[in-house]
Amino acid sequence: MTDSNQSSSFPTTRWTLVAALKSESEGQAQAAMGQLCQTYWYPLYAFVRRKGYSAEDAEDLTQGFFQNLISHESLSSAAQEKGKLRSFLLGSLKNFLASQYQRDNRQKRGGGQHVVSIDQEMAEHRYQNEPSDNLTPEVLFDRRWAMTILDNVYVLLAKEYEDRGKSEHFKVLSGYLSWNDSNRPQAEAAAELGMSEPAFRAAVVRIRKRYRNLLREQVADTVVSEDQVEPELTELMQALRAA
């Protein structure tokens, strides 16, 4: 999935900002971490639920974990050691659950503050619709993490087409993205959009390329170096195929 036109310099992402946390940029880095937590809270919630906690306790523990994480003084060094946001958050959550802190009462856990917005009813609805399988909490976490990234990419791609006034094109073309190829003949789809078959095939190539680029960008936002992007992509795709 490497883009030959990619800049040789790795971009400053929200996670690299956190990993490079300095006292003078603490507020900015913590804001970046808050945004990342808001995006990736559900895989953590699902992990806690799969560990056997009730829905109410899982919500409370997830909130308490984020509150503890964002205010922790060693956030920068821990981030640099772990490298990948996915590994860092899961390892930190495991430590949090194993600590005496998770056995405190509910008010102490979250301190009455909500770091991320969690709709408990929606969260539990999502969890109850998880496949009934024997996946470990760790494998479920990785699968949910991967699906969150794919969902983010889909939303970003849809927004780009919407901004260009081509929402109808996206509805049709998205059926031909590489991970979800449509069985519908391209000639039929092209006719619906008033395009020739060659023009439609070119449009499919473009949307797939843009999808791959956005996917790389989303993954890059969760690692600290360019050489971690491809391995992380590979691991996430493997997680999606886990039985």
Q: Which tens digit of pLDDT belongs to each residue from 129-173?
A: 777 677 899 999 999 999 999 999 999 999 999 999 999 999 999
Identify the residue with better confidence: 184 or 145. 145
User: Quick check: 19 and 89 in contact, CB under 8 A?
Assistant: no
The pTM assigned to this predicted structure is: 0.81
Q: Which tens digit of pLDDT belongs to each residue from 227-241?
A: 999 999 999 999 988
Q: Which tens digit of pLDDT belongs to each residue from 49-89?
A: 999 999 988 988 988 888 877 766 556 555 555 678 898 88
Predicted confidence at residue 169, as pLDDT, reads 97
Distances (CA, A) of 25 to 28, 75, 176, 212, 220: 5, 13, 43, 32, 21
Q: Which tens digit of pLDDT belongs to each residue from 81-126?
A: 567 889 888 988 998 898 854 465 544 454 555 656 676 777 787 7
Predicted confidence at residue 30, as pLDDT, reads 72
The DSSP code sequence of 103-171 is: GS-HHHHHTT--SS---HHHHHHHHHTS--S---HHHHHHHHHHHHHHHHHHHHHHHHHHHTT-HHHHH
Burial of 134 (C-beta count, 10 Å sphere; 0-12/13-18/19+):
exposed
Tokens linked to 42: 């559900």
